[in-house]
Structure formats: structure tokens, C-alpha cells
Amino acid sequence: MTEFKPDRNKKPLIIRGSVLNDGDFSHALIESKEGIIQAIHQSDDLTELERRTLIVPGFIDIHVHGGGGADVMDGSIEALRTIAETHVKYGTTGWLATTVTVAGADILRVIDAVKQYMPIQSGFKGAECLGIHLEGPFLSPKHRGAQREDLFMLPDLEQFQSWVERAEGIIRMITLAPELEGAERLIRYARENGITVSAGHTDATSRQLNNAAEWGVTHLTHVFNAMRPIHHREPGIIAAACRNGHMTADFIADGIHLHPDTENLLLRLFGHERLILITDAMRAACMGDGLYEIGGLPVTVKQGVARIDNGTLAGSLLTLQRAAQRMTNIHRLRWAEVSRMASYNPARLLGLDRKGGILPGKSADLVGLTSEGDVLWTMVNGELCYENGNNTSGNDQ
């Protein structure tokens, strides 16, 4: 591996706009060098367009299967590049390549593809792949969602260890059903190896989740979807996670997976401090209606909704830009609160100290937005990776 040597003669990049910092927007200049924010200077010397450009931390999507016609399970550098270049247009600067339940050989193929892709991705104009999120195969058949039940497995520590060793540190997260036999050993091993463990596609009771929290489960995957619902005598994992003050949860804010009133309930139960916006996007995201597939299951996308043959929702067509806009428009959240759910919280969940905020020392992962929340430009590690053709705001080198 070639040793990185910073170019000390390189001119700093200056980004101008209304910068979200310390909970509010202020007119400022962001100074970035070698992909790292060096300083933030308050300034009134901005053009009118620059004053109107809202600059927020780049969005981090911890659960995305695909987009632009490509899927993580395609297992190729070309597919990963397509996904990254699709979602960067909508403000995503970091993402986890998320699998579905497939045969072990197919999981190995994805691991190998992501391992090859991550070291070369800086040569492309896309969101940064931060690693792998294994969704399955250790899931409950009672809440299979758009997953292949015939390939589900009980938690198998030896099998999981072989994937972790093959991945060499790039598996960042796993979603599993913690009530299944063998889950405790696997969860403890995952946590020992720095892997975030999330409960999802699960029929766990509140007691079972409390036990799993002691083993190392810290998160819920697409809360309310594919899990035991709340009941007044068996509150299930949602109420248990809410009571566990350190646990976080993510949700699909497309207005399809959850009713707006349910989203509002989540906001009241967990608060924006403990929630994460995800897309759960599949290959049809940003593509339109038609026939697709996910994990070998046929998917029909009609009027912007993806379903497998039995009518079950099959991921989403969501982008994080749209999820953030819904939070501001429908739930009247401030951008500081939305940014926490889209940037800071996922970075904290994954232990990414340099991501999720606009501060000196952080990565220059930035998004320029209109007042309506549309993306003007996206910057990943100090490099402009997407720019709306109508944008002429001032970023200069």
C-alpha cells in the first residue's frame, strides 16, 4: 500500500454558505485541506446565492441495498460504483453496502467485491462506501419481509467468523433476530470485533431484547417493519428499546413503510437524539416503475412502491434527501434535528469519529441545499462529487 503524504503546498478549499454548526445556521467560510475541515470562519462577505445555500453534514445511510439499477448482491465493482454515484446526487456521502439473505457463496462474493472496491473508490465520483451491513441470514421466518426464508439459518458462530475473517474489518453492522438459538455467542463475538449488532426481522419479546442488550445489541433495524408489534400485554422489542436509554433505532421515512402518525410516535418515543434515517433502497431507487428483483425474488414497482409477489414491501425507492425533506415538511423538525438523524447519529452508531458533523478535524463531507431541502451539490472527503447544473454557488480551490 502506498503511504499517504499530504501535499503541504496544496491550496485549501474554501466553501461558502449558511453553515449548520452548533445547532443553527450562520454565514461562514469552511476551510478544507486534504479532505479534512481545517477551520470555520464566520463571514458576512457572501453573495446572495451563497447566503441562501444551506450547508449541512453529509448524510450517512447505514442500510442501502441498491439504486440506479444496481444492487449490492450483484457483487461487482461496477454495481457498487453505480449505487454510490446514484445516492451521492441526493446528499448521501457515506453508506453501508447492505446484503440480503442469500447462500454463503454469494455473501463471500459481496465481501470480496467490497474489499476490492473500497481502496479504489476515491477515484470515482460517489458516496463513500464505509463497509458492509449484513442483513441476514440469521432472521426469523415469522417476519421475513422480502427475504428468502428457505435460506434462513440459525445463528452459526463458525460461519459468521469465517465471513468476518474474510472481510478483514469491513463488516461494520449485522441485523439478526436475537431470540434465535445461538444468537448470544454470535452477538458477543460481533461486539468483541467492533461490529454493531441490530435486532431486525425478529419476533423477540421485550424480555428477550433486554437479554440481547446485555449481550451487545444496541440498535433496531427499520423499526416497526418486520418485527413483533407493540401489544399492551407484550410490548415487544420497540417498547423495550425505548425504555433502554442507550438503544437507537432506524426507520424508513418514505410515508409508505410507516404512517406519518407512526413516524410521529417514533419521534416522541425515541426523540431525534436516538433515531436514524435510512432508505432501505433497492435497485429500482431513482429508476421508476417496472420489474426488478431483490435477493432472487421478483419485485414489481408500481406508482413508486416496490412489492414482491405476495404483496410484501420490498425495500424502498427512497433517497435520504427525500427522507430529510419529509421530516422538515411533515413533522416540522429543524434542520439541526434532521441532521442529527441523517448524519451525527449514524456516525456515532458506527464509531466514525471523523464523520457526521461540521467541525475542524472532521471529514469534509458536506451537502449544499436549497431552503426547500433540494441538493445543490455534494462533497465527499473534500471532493465535489455532484453538482446540480443550475448551481453556481461559490466553492473555490
Q: Which residues are catalytic?
A: 280
Measured CA to CA, the distance from residue 375 to residue 394 in angstroms comes to 15
92-98: strand order across its sheet: 59-64, 92-98, 128-135, 171-176, 196-199, 217-220, 248-252, 275-278
User: What count of other Cβ atoms lies within 10 Å of the Cβ of residue 202?
Assistant: 30
Residue owning grid cell 454493531:
196
Angle at 269 between CA 268 and CA 272, to 5 degrees: 65
Of 101, 231, 114, 106, nearest to 177 by C-alpha is 101
Residue type for position 116: Q
- Number of residues written out for the chain: 397
| Helix spans in 312-385 (H) | 320-329, 335-339, 345-350
**If you search the block for the grid coordinates 418485527, which residue do you land on?**
227
